[in-house]
Amino acid sequence: MLSVGESHTVLVTGGAGFIGSHLILTLAARYPHWKIINLDNLDYCSSLKNLKCLEGTSTYKFILGDVCDQFFIERLFSTEDISVVFHCAAQTHVESSFACPSRFMHVNADGTDMLVRAAFQARVRQFIFVSTDEVYGQSLKQPFDETSPQRPTNPYSSAKAAAENIVISYWRKHKFPVIITRSNNVYGPRQYQEKVIPKYLSLIQRDQKCTVEGTGLQSRHFLYVDDLTEAFLIVLERGVLGEIYNIGTNFEIPIIQLARQLVQMTVKNVSNEQLDDWIEFVEDRPVREMRYPMTSDKLHSLGWKPKVSWKEGIRRTIKWHEENPEFWPLIPNRKEENLTPAVDIIGSAKTN
């Protein structure tokens, strides 16, 4: 068990991205005596603006680098006395994974292999791998628990499943102290616009329609980012080594209903009859999972439960978007462009 009262150096990969930056801010607030290293290659969906408040502080350090650069990663662990690793860096845009599956496998699986190998050689005291509920595949009935088999259905989740297997193999063979987390869809301030909630809010701000893939009947569980980072710290402090923890929420909403709700909350004087005027149905992705239900009882037993309701979380998210309309550069509507900009950058430290 890691002693949080001691001083530690924590490496967060993908720390300039959405989840990584929120995690770093939470770590800095909770453990002000710890040193935090942010490793990121500053791909299109990352920004150091996310962590401007930590610039110049003695306990925070940004390093520009790539998790897929083996020589760089080995040198990093040999020169920094790293105690804890939160591996958040990944390629995560599912639509892009169908176009470039080898790139996703390279970053998500090969990059994880390089990182966990270097961490093992450096005798890191805890390695936490941030995975996804998508490794389970879809279920229309029973929710998944941590013993459910992996059944990934797209290149992104397949690469994440492969990375999980690499990480857990170090526990099984060497008892290297790893923990894996699998979370629902995460949302909140500063999320890049390719994800569904910021994408719709950005389109509405530009007086454009929300592009709903397929029928829109597919539903997702949405977890506010502060609840996720709190779960990470619970796992860090109380998690059992070699275990997997689901980080989930009971709130579930069909994507078509999500689009209508965001329109209703952000467009002035819009009537219920006008909501669908703001929606445009577009071609679905090659494989569509209808839902990813899962239980988080194992994490609840450690004392964690989500605290931020959907009503409060989406209110905070909308408020941030209204106050920061130019935080991210505009990206094309999917009708205008099928691929996300910069998807051909290899070695991304992109986070959810």
Q: Which amino acid is at 187?
A: Y
d(CA 100, CA 112) in angstroms, rounded, equals 18
Q: Identify whether 60 is a catalytic site residue.
A: no
Residue 115 has a CB neighbour count (10 Å cut-off) of: 28
Which of 31, 60, 136, 156 is catalytic? The answer is 156
CA distance 19 to 225: 7
* Secondary-structure breakdown of the chain: helix, strand, coil percentages, each rounded to the nearest 5: 40, 15, 45
Catalytic residue among 134, 164, 194, 230: 134
Task: Name residue 130's amino acid.
Answer: V
| DSSP state letters, 57-114 | -TTEEEEE--TT-HHHHHHHHHHS---EEEE------HHHHHH-HHHHIIIIIIHHHH
**Whole-angstrom distance, CA of residue 109 vs CA of residue 88:** 12
Q: Which residues pair with 244 in a beta bridge?
A: 180
CA 151 to chain centre: 19
Q: Which of 133, 164, 226, 289 is catalytic?
A: 133
Residue 336 falls in the annotated catalytic set: no
Rounded to whole angstroms, the Cα distance separating 65 from 335 reads 34
Clarify whether 110 is annotated catalytic: no
Closest CA to 20 of 328, 233, 229, 316: 229
Query: Tokens standing for 293?
Result: 């239900």
Q: Which long-range contacts (CB under 8 A, 24 or more apart) does 337-342 make?
A: 339/95, 339/96, 339/99, 340/44, 340/93, 340/95, 340/96, 340/194, 341/44, 342/43, 342/44
Q: Considering just the CA atoms, what is the radius of gyration of the chain in Å?
A: 19
Residues assigned a catalytic role: 133-134, 156
